[in-house]
């Protein structure tokens, strides 16, 4: 049969059409393949990789806080949180290690062996092991030893999460200084708060490849960025002295029924704070058990009227301005009315006396002090108060520091201009008051108090705290004269005799001040004591305050014994030899000596 040309043409066209269709399909899928591989390939691969990887944080260990000798005050320890992949734990098979006999399988059997190690009820634990979640917490804060016991069970799906726990091995010792951290590890008080950024460090990360049910693929991707540990904070605190001072002030507060008490010990010449002790100091391990008012340091945060300890700047200013000498004689009655009509009285009635400048300080006479202070211009005297550090923060590395209150002399009324001469009408912190005495012990040069010697980073590099050369407040001669006068306060017959330290010469000043009560009255009082030792070459300045004792409130009675105990311990701790030279005995009355 002969094929017609038309039929041949039709078949040829059909073959061409099919070929075109096939080529079109090939080109389409080929193009699509090129598009997917060349253009979308990296994105798709990354998406697939992301779906197979899990990234977890590696917590950076928080830096330590240590005392001046490197003894640990705060540290972080390794801990483990334990969770379960419920999809994997169902595959658990427990066998007898000797016979290979299957003893149990699945979540129920896993709960049976896990419960004793986690101190959990096995029924409750078993319920938490059942489900489809890839991670559910079972326990937190386990020690490395506890985790190793759990790991040895080889239960599929039981996974660790490494973390840290903050510990304070000395309990409440220096708790007011160290502070504490919150649940998330952030600093909430004390040095933990001030140096939170430096202590925190930088977290690392661990990225691993996982299978469909959440298990880690041993041969898969594993990328680790190590954590950078936090820096170590080196404090100036002597741990043993801090402990002793806390015990001493706690006993005194209990004995006298004071609302609170505090002690500050400063190393003369350096500004290093060796101890800041507050009564009822918080234990950072259990800070929630303490009232929030006891979390910080009242020695740094609580302003009070210095009372007669505030007379020291007045006497120093008068000596420096050549208004008086140590043996200048004044007529001192028990009550005195000044030219502007303001009347002042001494604490105890006494006949009119002839006292030297030294005698006025020794007896802590208000009427004598206002006569001395009246010889100096108010603006000049205010300048000395400021130079001694009153009315401004010291800059110590602790949160919540008070600046106290020292108003400009232009705002003083006719009475305040006199009360500021003997420590009323202004307020200070115990830290400021102790720093003022340390300035006198340092030849008249004021050093800024500090409680941190420096920081050590993760590489072991130590960066010391920058300490200035200090600022001169009074001349060395004036400072020496002040110390000699203060020595008479602590000598027999002075108001501060109970502050004596056996074997050492002491220079000191007592203070008693009234406190405004809720109704505006002055029914409450405080007692304080500040001093130096040994007087011939001061090494430490110590300040003590006892706040609102209900009965006896004289600083020379309730604060002086604490000063004696703490100062004696500090000198022995520092290895300071006993005094061998006789005390300076300046004349208290005309013709004495």
What pairs with residue 220 in β-bridges? none
Edge-to-edge strands of the sheet including 273-278? 273-278, 260-267, 540-547, 524-533, 507-515
How many whole angstroms separate alpha carbon 450 and alpha carbon 466? Answer: 10
* Active site annotation includes 308: yes
Helix (H, G, I), strand (E, B) or coil at 500: coil
In this structure, what token pair is assigned to residue 6? 């038309």
Rounded to 5, what percent of the chain is helix, strand, coil? 40, 25, 40
- Tokens of residue 86, six digits: 């419920």
How many C-alpha atoms does 219 have within 13 Å on its Cβ side? Answer: 0
Sign of CA dihedral 187, 188, 192, 197: positive
Query: DSSP of 462-481, one letter per residue?
Result: EEEPP----EE-S-HHHHHH
Q: Is the peptide bond before 491 cis (omega within 30 degrees of 0)?
A: no
Integer Cα distance of 361 and 510 in angstroms = 10
Nearest to 305 by CA among 414, 393, 402, 425: 425
DSSP assigned state of 556 = H
Residue 472 near residue 313, CB atoms below 8 Å? no
Q: Which of 308, 365, 488, 553 is catalytic?
A: 308
Whether residue 438 contacts residue 268, with contact meaning beta carbons closer than 8 Å, is answered with yes
496 in helix, strand or coil? coil
Q: Hey, what are 367's tokens?
A: 């009427």
What tokens appear for 196 in the block?
């939170």
Place of tokens 């200084």: 177
Name the H helices within 81-195. Answer: 86-89, 106-118, 122-129, 144-151, 175-178, 190-194
Q: Are 92 and 260 in contact (CB under 8 A)?
A: no
**Contact status, residue 252 vs residue 263, Cβ threshold 8 Å:** no
236/306 Cα distance (integer angstroms)? 26
Compute how many other C-beta atoms are within 10 angstroms of the C-beta atom of residue 273. 30
Parallel/antiparallel/unpaired status of strands 452-456 and 232-235? antiparallel
In terms of Cα–Cα distance, which of 391, 402, 361, 417 is closest to 530?
361
Query: Is 277 within 8 Å of 298 (Cβ atoms)?
Result: no
The set of catalytic residues is: 308
């Amino acid at each position: 049969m002969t094929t017609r040309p038309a039929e041949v043409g039709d078949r040829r066209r059909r073959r061409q059409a099919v070929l075109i269709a096939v080529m079109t399909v090939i080109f389409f899928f080929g193009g699509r393949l090129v598009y997917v591989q060349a253009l979308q390939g990296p994105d798709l691969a990354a998406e697939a990789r992301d779906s197979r990887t899990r990234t977890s944080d590696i917590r950076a260990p928080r830096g330590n806080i240590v005392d001046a000798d490197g003894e640990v005050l705060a540290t972080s320890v390794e801990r483990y949180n334990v969770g379960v992949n419920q999809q994997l734990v169902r595959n658990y098979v427990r066998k007898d290690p000797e016979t290979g006999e299957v003893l149990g399988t699945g979540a129920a059997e896993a709960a049976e062996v896990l419960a004793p190690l986690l101190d959990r009820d096995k029924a409750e634990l078993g319920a938490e092991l059942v489900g489809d979640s890839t991670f559910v917490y079972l326990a937190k804060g386990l020690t490395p030893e506890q985790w190793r016991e759990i790991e040895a069970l080889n239960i599929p799906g039981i996974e660790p999460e490494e973390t840290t726990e903050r510990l304070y091995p000395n309990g409440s010792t220096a708790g007011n200084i160290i502070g504490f951290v919150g649940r998330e590890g952030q600093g909430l008080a004390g040095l933990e708060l001030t140096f939170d950024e430096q202590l925190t460090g930088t977290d690392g990360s661990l990225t691993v490849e996982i299978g469909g049910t959440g298990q880690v693929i041993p041969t898969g991707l594993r990328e680790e960025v190590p954590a950078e540990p936090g820096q170590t904070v080196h404090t100036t605190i002597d741990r043993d002295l801090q402990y002793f001072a806390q015990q001493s002030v706690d006993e005194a507060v209990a004995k006298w029924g004071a609302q609170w008490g505090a002690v500050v010990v400063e190393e003369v010449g350096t500004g290093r704070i060796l101890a800041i002790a507050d009564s009822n100091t918080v234990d950072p391990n259990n800070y929630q058990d303490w009232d929030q008012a006891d979390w910080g340091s009242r020695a740094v945060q609580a302003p009070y009227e210095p009372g007669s300890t505030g007379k020291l700047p007045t006497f120093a200013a008068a000596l420096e301005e050549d208004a008086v000498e140590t043996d200048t004689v004044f007529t001192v009655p028990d009550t005195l009315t000044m030219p502007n009509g303001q009347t002042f009285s001494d604490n105890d009635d006494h006949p009119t006396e002839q006292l030297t400048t030294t005698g006025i300080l020794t007896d802590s006479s208000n009427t004598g002090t206002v006569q001395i202070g009246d010889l100096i211009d108010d603006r000049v005297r205010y300048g000395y108060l400021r130079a001694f550090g009153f009315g401004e923060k010291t800059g110590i590395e602790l949160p919540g520091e008070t600046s106290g209150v020292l108003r400009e002399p232009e705002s003083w009324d006719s009475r305040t201009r006199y009360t500021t001469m003997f420590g009323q009408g202004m307020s200070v912190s115990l830290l400021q008051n102790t720093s003022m005495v340390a300035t006198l012990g340092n030849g008249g040069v004021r050093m800024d108090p500090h409680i941190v010697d420096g920081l050590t980073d993760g590489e072991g590099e130590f960066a010391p705290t920058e300490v200035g050369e200090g600022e001169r407040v009074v001349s060395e001669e004036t400072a020496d004269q002040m110390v000699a006068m203060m020595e008479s306060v602590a000598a027999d017959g002075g108001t501060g005799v109970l502050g004596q330290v056996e074997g050492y010469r002491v220079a000191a000043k007592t203070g008693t001040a009234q406190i405004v009560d809720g109704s505006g009255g002055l029914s409450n009082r405080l007692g304080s004591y500040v001093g130096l030792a040994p007087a011939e070459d001061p090494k430490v300045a110590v300040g003590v305050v006892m706040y609102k004792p209900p009965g006896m409130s004289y600083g020379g009675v309730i604060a002086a014994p604490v000063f004696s105990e703490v100062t004696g311990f500090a000198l022995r701790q520092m290895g300071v030899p006993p005094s061998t030279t006789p005390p300076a005995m300046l004349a208290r009355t005309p013709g004495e000596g």
